[in-house]
């Protein structure tokens, strides 16, 4: 996780566990499961790339090494966001 430049605050997001099915992401007091089946671009990512996640705003996550941007709501309710990448499928 990168630090924000002085004067700019960001929240901290943390990958807390990884399994063959997906990974758990802690956003303050909320823990979300990110299944590889619905988010296939993470399936072959290294642990270092997966855990390098930024949370620049309450509704946005970014993995710079993977160039993946996600709305937090797309993890909470993936059915409401039907467009999924075909990478890794």
Mean pLDDT value across the chain: 86
Q: What gap in Å lies between CA 22 and CA 24, rounded to an integer?
A: 7
Pairing of β 22-27 and β 30-35: antiparallel
Q: What gap in Å lies between CA 27 and CA 72, rounded to an integer?
A: 9
Helix (H, G, I), strand (E, B) or coil at 24: strand
* Domain limits, the chain: 13-80
**The pLDDT of residue 10:** 56
Q: Which residues of the chain have pLDDT under 70?
A: 1-10, 83-89
Of 18, 46, 48, which is closest to residue 34 (Cα–Cα)?
Answer: 18
Domain 13-80 listed as CATH 3.30.2020: yes
Report the predicted TM-score, pTM, of the whole model to 2 decimal places.
0.78
Helix (H, G, I), strand (E, B) or coil at 80: helix
């Amino acid at each position: 996780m990168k630090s924000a430049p002085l004067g700019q605050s960001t929240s901290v997001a943390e990958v807390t566990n990884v399994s063959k099915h997906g990974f758990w992401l802690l956003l303050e007091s909320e823990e979300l499961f990110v299944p590889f089946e619905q988010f296939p671009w993470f399936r072959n990512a290294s642990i270092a790339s997966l855990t390098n996640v930024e949370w620049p705003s309450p509704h946005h996550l970014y993995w710079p090494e993977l160039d993946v941007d996600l709305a937090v709501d797309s993890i909470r309710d993936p059915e409401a966001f039907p467009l999924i990448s075909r990478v890794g499928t």
